[in-house]
Structure 1
Amino acid sequence: MSTLYIARFIISFSWIYHGIFPKLLHIAPLEHAMTASIGLSETTSYWITKSAGVAEVVFGLCVFIYFRVRWVIYLNILALTGLLMLVALLYPVVLIDAFNPVTTNITLIALSLILLNSLNQKKG
């Protein structure tokens, strides 16, 4: 399997997994704590988390389908960077936990850069 497809599968899988399991099937305590830290009501926090889960699944499917479209990969890098900064602002204690967004997001950004490099090699 080529590097292009490995990066595609891992990036897509990560978005889809993080949308389904800690947000849609069961709201993980950490997800709840992060949305609650904004000061929203329980109901609003619940629906924001569920909506984020749907958005992550849809985006993961978009990355899977449109992995050869560079702006989708750039949007992925932007989203991962933005989410990392959002966590750093809203709930910074998470950044030092095990399996934290620093290691996850930076790894996915690196895979995105590998994907872009692979696309550039195929083009040129």
Structure 2
Amino acid sequence: MNKSVSLYRPLQCIQYALAVLWIYQGFIPKILFQAQDELRIWQLQGFSESLASIMMQASGVIEIIFGMLFFIFKSATLLHYFNIFGMVGLSLLILWVDPHYFSNAFNPFVMNVAMAVLSLTAIQLIKQLKQNSTTY
């Protein structure tokens, strides 16, 4: 098997996983069901309930669009750097707004670290793929 092909398959898996995770996070808890925890995060930042609901839905749309970018740009390291930055930023926001979320069974730390590490791995794979394509 071609070395590039063997690197491309795990990269493709990471791309699809990140796309699905972002689309799910944008659609299910923010738009479809409007989870109370999501709404509470916005309210803790000083938004009224109605404005918090709008902000939550808008952030859901942004997350869906961001997730779709992983389907479109298959070897864009910049997208993965944005993902890492976003995961760190969202973790810090939750830590600042209400640190108790980090003690829950399903908490932002678990998801955010996993998604950031997927992007770190993808960056390494992309760099290796680019290196392989210049050596042939």
Same fold (TM over 0.5): yes
Pair 100,49 (structure 1): closer, same or farther in 2 beyond 3 Å: same
CA–CA distance in structure 1, aligned partners of residues 31 and 41 of structure 2: 15
1:72 aligns with: 79
CA–CA distance in structure 1, aligned partners of residues 30 and 19 of structure 2: 16
Instruction: Pick one of 2, 24, 31 that aligns with 2:9.
Output: 2
Cα deviation digits, residues 72-114 of structure 1 (max 9, x gap): 1111111111011101111211011112110100001110011
Instruction: Pick one of 104, 124, 128 that aligns with 1:97.
Output: 104
| CA drift at 1:34 | 0.9
RMSD: 1.1
Cα deviation digits, residues 36-87 of structure 1 (max 9, x gap): 1112111110110000000000000012211311111111111111011101
1:29 aligns with: 36
Identity of aligned residues (%): 30
CA–CA distance in structure 2, aligned partners of residues 13 and 112 of structure 1: 14
Q: Give structure 1 stretches of 5+ with no counterpart.
A: none
Instruction: Pick one of 18, 24, 45 that aligns with 1:11.
Output: 18
| CA drift at 1:21 | 0.3
Aligned partner letter, 1:46: S
| Bigger-Rg structure (1/2) | 2
Q: How many residues align?
A: 124
Q: Give structure 2 stretches of 5+ with no counterpart.
A: 1-7, 132-136
Runs ≥4 in structure 1, deviation > 4 angstroms? none
CA–CA distance in structure 2, aligned partners of residues 102 and 8 of structure 1: 20
| CA drift at 1:27 | 0.6
| CA drift at 1:25 | 0.5
Q: TM-score w.r.t. structure 1 length?
A: 0.95
2:94 aligns with: 87
